Structure 1
Amino acid sequence: MNAKTVVLGRDVRASSEALANCVAQGLIDQGCQVLDLGLSGTEEVYFATTHFGADGGICVTASHNPIDYNGMKMVRADSAPLEAASGLAHIKDLAEANTFEKSVTLYNIRDVAEEARAAYVERICQFVDISALKPLTILVNAGQGTAGPTFDAIAERLAELGAPLVFERLFHEPDGTFPQGIPTPLLPENRPATANAVRASCADFGVAWDGDFDRCFFFEHTGAFIDGEYVVGLLAEAFLAKDPSATIIHDPRIIWNTQDLVAKAGGRAVQTRTGHAFIKKAMRDENAVYGGEMSAHHYFRDFVYCGSGMIPWLLAAELVSRNGPLAELVAHRKAAFPSSGEINFTLDDTKAAIARVRAGFEPEAISIDEMDGLGVNMGEWRFNLRSSNTEPVVRLNAEARGDAELVEQGVERVKQALLG
């Protein structure tokens, strides 16, 4: 990448500070200036990379992975992603060759944490119309990950701007030992703490983040978890209310709810493959204002085309202020387009299993979509099957038009075909 200036941040894991120090030394040895953010979220690194005009950015984090994992998330100049087939593969080759020589030009580390966070917070707060906000109580669960200090900076700025929001904080202080367990709200067993706290605090809604807070998850005022595909639809609707002709990017797993909302608002929905590199590329190619994945990744054109776990809850606060409780907004969409949620099957031969499903359904299918896994449209219901990249698992998502029972029947049919 021929980088001369690189932004560096790290999450709260016990190993992250030492690894970040090693990353910094390696960059300095290669003649780079390091702009250090210290403890920060992945999205803060992405934002700062563009804000400072750096040649790249690295966040030392393992996100939601087990406690003894760690790694790095990297972006190029302009916060653009590295392609797996080229950029990351090339980095792997360079690392394995290990033919590095120290540069004659050495730079020191520059601490930019305060400047970077102030600029980041200002940008985040610009995504919401403060005057539209009504008095709301919001329960936030940082899971003792990295989110706490960043959230506090945003909350402080919102208060200065006159936002009438009250926050109840749960597991807020960063703690790399994760006494409550790794913050992964996508797993059902990790949701009760947030759900109970939402009910106990009589909050209007709840928010929980993963470890590096690039994903956020929503809970209704009842404590009920809101599935990610309906959040994508809500956020698409929020943008289209301000720009009805906007383009929205979505992944191919559960699509009908989003496509229906976008069409009714006069916008344009574009489907692309699952994964941040594909979503970000499609957003840049299509000048899309927003891109969403049902896995709780949300991307924003006006946030350097990157994902954020802080912008979504602000947009949700504005939606609730304008349109009423999330529970009511979501109930209507669930009734119109019920879905199964992601169901995982561990199989010996995933390719053969998916081939069996295709053979069984293709004769009566209206259309087959192979953009990402196998998408099968059966008319009043459809499903998507994808193989995991890292384990012998097939992931099934199914949806229907206004008929929850049809979803259940469809899941059972696909299951029988998968298991042979």
Structure 2
Amino acid sequence: MTTEPEDDLYDRIVTPYDIRGLFRAEVDPGLAYRAGAAFTELTGAGTVAVAHDARASSPCLADAFGQGVLDQGADVVDAGLGSTDYLSYVSGRLDVPGAMITADRAPAAYNGIRLCHAGAVDVDEGSGMELLRRRLRGPRPPLADRPGSVLPARLLPDYAGHLRTLVDLSDIRPLKVVVDAGNGAAARTAPLVLGHPSIELVPLHFELAGPVPHWAPYLADVGALGEKVRESGADAGLAFDGDGNRMAAVDERGAPVPPATVIALVAGRELARRPGAAVVHDLLTATSAIDAIKEAGGIPVRSRTGPAAVKALMAEQDAAFGGAHSGHYYFRDFWYADTGMLAALHLLAELGESGRELSELAARHDRYACSGTLEVRVPDPLAALQRVVRHFAAEGTALDHLDGVTGELADGAWFNVRVPGTGPVVRVNVEAGTVAAMERLRDRVVEVVVSAGR
């Protein structure tokens, strides 16, 4: 591991949401062992579940983390290779804390550890991550008098079976669906979850490969998926990220289906089962999805960005469903955890029951123009944020500070500017009623952001 001061290392790799860094140089088996021991001491758990993604470096880190658990006298549920939502299932079903060895969307040279309390409750800053960071800086916990035991538990079929009980596919028409697993964990989970007599799966990038070379960051590039859909005459295409928990979709033309459309379609189905329930959405979710929630009789509840924030608010509101602009979809029937596979089942059920093309279903929710997330480099992100606040407050724009600053204009257009804390950048999102209006507002906001650093 690197020889830089340990405080600097832990400040960098122990983020508010996970442990993540360069494999070997920053995150190696030694760190994984210490994290397993510290997490066991922190939770006081008698059993910890451990799963890992398809990166070549993940099995050795899973073994090392598990050994740290065992040496503290706790048992390890060895869940093996799977997706992050598979680990959520194991944690929720067995009611034990869990560790997922994954670096999510980071490049192949990275790896890391995501942690959850029993019941698939995220560990983040304020619920244990800050304590874990402190314990990693301290001495290694002493060995227990008696080590724990390894409990092999390959529960992928049970995970798939649980998801299949939540969506009825019995009345769908025959569908041909391309699935891009990105050489990641979805190559294992998708056939089990989506396999159905009425669904012909066309696999794309299903070879398990450590570097997950075909996975695109943020699922933004679905060009290969769209091309395969057109080439094969499929009804839809689904893509999953490296650890298999996020999902992106394309229609029969290969055109991307925005996450807001997926939120709208899935929310309608969940609200048909639970009329009047709350549906949580992050504050960057397009207004079309919020409109759809209201039209379906639901109560839209606005959240900060990030899985922990959405899940906590869902539990507080007893929400039926939650969605985020980034392609995360959360379900009350899945311990409030996110699972792109369950969202995919709902999408295919809606497509198969409606008798319409996916492009038709999506068109109903194409009401606003969105910029997507823009990353703008500035020398001082906090100064840039304050400049935005001063500038638009002086114009009389209604502002709120739930997450960064959000401004809402009189015509319903809105913008959000956030400081992600991942370098000298701010993130900008803009929505308006037309493309031209969106571009004008986007350019205004970016100009104010950039001028803050001049």
Both structures adopt the same fold (TM-score exceeding 0.5): yes
Q: Tell me: CA distance 1:132–1:369, structure 2 relative to 1, closer, same or farther (3 Å).
A: farther
In structure 2, what is the Cα distance between the partners aligned to 1:297 and 1:187? 11
Q: Whole-Å Cα distance in 1 between the matches of residues 347 and 317 of structure 2?
A: 25
Number of the residue aligned with 2:192? 153
> How far has the Cα of 1:343 moved from its partner?
1.4
Matched, 1:311 2:345: no
* Structure 1: 4+ residue segments shifted above 3 A: 363-366
Deviation at 1:309, TM superposition (A): 1.7
2:89 is the alignment partner of 1:47? yes
The structural deviation recorded for 1:325 is 2.1
Q: For residues 278 and 227 of structure 1, what CA distance do their matches in structure 2 show?
A: 22
Which residue number corresponds to residue 93 of structure 1?
A: 134
Cα displacement (A) at 1:185: 5.3
Shift in Å, 1:101: 0.7
Specify which of 142, 152, 171 is matched with residue 181 of structure 2.
Answer: 142
Structure 2 residue identity aligned to 1:210: D
TM-score, normalised relative to structure 1: 0.93
The CA deviation at 1:368 is 1.0
Counterparts of 1:1-400 in structure 2, within 5 Å, are 1-54=43-96, 56-113=97-154, 116-156=155-195, 158-159=196-197, 164-178=198-212, 180-181=213-214, 183-184=215-216, 186=218, 188=220, 190-323=221-354, 324-334=356-366, 336-380=367-411, 381-400=413-432
What one-letter code is carried by the residue in structure 1 that aligns with 2:199? L
How many Å separate the matches in 1 of 2:271 and 2:194?
26
284-293 or 354-363, which deviates more: 354-363
Assess, with a 3 A threshold, how the Cα gap between structure 1 residues 365 and 173 changes in structure 2: closer, same or farther.
farther
Q: How far has the Cα of 1:282 moved from its partner? A: 0.4
The one-character-per-residue Cα deviations of 1:368-413 (angstroms, maximum 9, x if unpaired) are 1110011100022111111122121111111123x22211111111
For 2:298 and 2:395, locate their aligned partners in 1 and report how far apart those are by CA, in whole Å.
31
Q: Report the CA distance between 1:300 and its aligned residue.
A: 0.6
Asked if 2 retains the 8 angstrom alpha-carbon contact of 1:365 and 1:379, the reply is no
Q: Tell me the percent identity.
A: 31
Instruction: Give 1:365 deviation, angstroms.
Output: 4.2
Number of residues of Structure 1 aligned to a counterpart in Structure 2: 407
C-alpha contact 1:254 1:397 (8 A) present in aligned 2? no
User: Partner of 1:414 in structure 2?
Assistant: 445
8 Å Cα contact 1:138-1:207 kept in structure 2: yes
SS of structure 1 residue aligned to 2:55: coil
Residue aligned with 2:244, SS: coil
Following the alignment from structure 1 to structure 2, what is the Cα–Cα distance between the partners of residues 90 and 373? 26
Q: Does the 8 Å CA contact 1:254/1:339 hold for their aligned counterparts? A: no
3-state SS in 2 of match to 1:307:
coil
Q: Read off the aligned partner of 1:273 and give its amino acid letter.
A: R
| Structure 2 CA distance for aligned equivalents of residues 360 and 311 of structure 1 | 43
Q: Is the 8 A contact 2:219 2:240 kept in 1?
A: no
Whether contact under 8 Å (2:238, 2:250) holds in the other structure is yes
Residue 297 (structure 1) shift: 0.8
Distance 1:193 1:339, change over 3 A: same
Residue deviations 1:4-41, cap 9 Å, x none? 10111011111111111101111000011001111111
Task: Report if aligned partners of 1:186, 1:217 keep a CA contact under 8 Å in 2.
Answer: no
Distance 2:194 2:408 in 1: 44
Stretches of structure 1 lacking an aligned partner (at least 5 in a row)? none
Give the partner amino acid of 2:205. Answer: F
Give the letter aligned to residue 217 of structure 1: A
Following superposition, the deviation at residue 86 of structure 1 comes to 4.2
Q: Contact 1:249–1:279 at 8 Å: present in 2 too?
A: yes
* Distance in 2, Cα, partners of 1:151 & 1:367: 44
Unaligned 5+ segments in structure 2 are 1-42
Counterparts of 1:344 and 1:142, CA distance in 2 = 27
Instruction: Write the distance in 2 (CA, Å) between the matches of 1:276 and 1:155.
Output: 24
Question: Residue 358 of structure 1: CA displacement?
Answer: 2.0
CA distance in 1, matches of 2:108, 2:309: 28
Once superposed, what is the RMSD of the aligned Cα atoms? 1.6
SS at match of 1:396: strand
Aligned residue in 1 for 2:30: none
| CA–CA separation in structure 1 for the residues paired with 2:112 and 2:52 | 10
Q: How far apart are residue 58 of structure 1 and its match? A: 0.6
SS of aligned partner of 1:175: coil
Secondary structure class of the residue paired with 1:30: coil
